[in-house]
Amino acid sequence: MKRNTWQREAVREALDTSGGFISAQGLHSALHAGGSPIGLATVYRALSDLADQGEADSLQSPDGESLYRACTTTGHHHHLICRNCGLTVEIGADEVEAWAKRVAGEHGFTEAAHVVDVFGLCATCSATAR
């Protein structure tokens, strides 16, 4: 049976609060900074669970860390991420969905999954940059 613990809730809330993508270690630090004595292993487990249940999205940062983010949209979607400030926009991508499936099919591939993420500079950071 699944039980509700304050730790689970704390992770969920911390994720919501963070806004952008954050690493498991980062979340753990944030929670500790906020006075929570939650354990690192627990944070990893909670994030993994949330990701499995579709309540959180995960992706791999370019340097190999796993990053997590609270999912506002349920269901499959992709992200547009500001590489400077971390601002993230969730984007539906039926177009890409269809493309991925078609390309996979054309080459005889089955069980196609895909990784599609767009990194850039958001409007604010673009303006600041110059």
Partner DNA sequence: ATGGTTTTGACAATCATTATCAATAACAGC
Partner DNA sequence: GCTGTTATTGATAATGATTGTCAAAACCAT
Q: Which residues are annotated as a binding site for Fe cation?
A: 76, 97, 114
CB of 61 to a second copy, least distance (A): 9
Contact 49, 2 (CB under 8 A): no
Contact status: 1 vs DNA (CB under 7 A): yes
| Cα dihedral 80→86→87→88 (10° resolution) | 40
Q: Which does 5 bind (CB under 5 to 8 A by kind): a second copy, DNA, none?
A: DNA
Per-residue contact string for residues 38-77; x = within reach of a second copy by CB under 8 A:
----------------------x-x-x-x-----------
Contact 60, 23 (CB under 8 A): no
Token couple for 63: 């340097």
Distance of alpha carbon 77 from alpha carbon 6, whole angstroms: 29
Contact status: 116 vs a second copy (CB under 8 A): yes
Per-residue contact string for residues 72-91; x = within reach of a second copy by CB under 8 A:
--------x-x------x-x
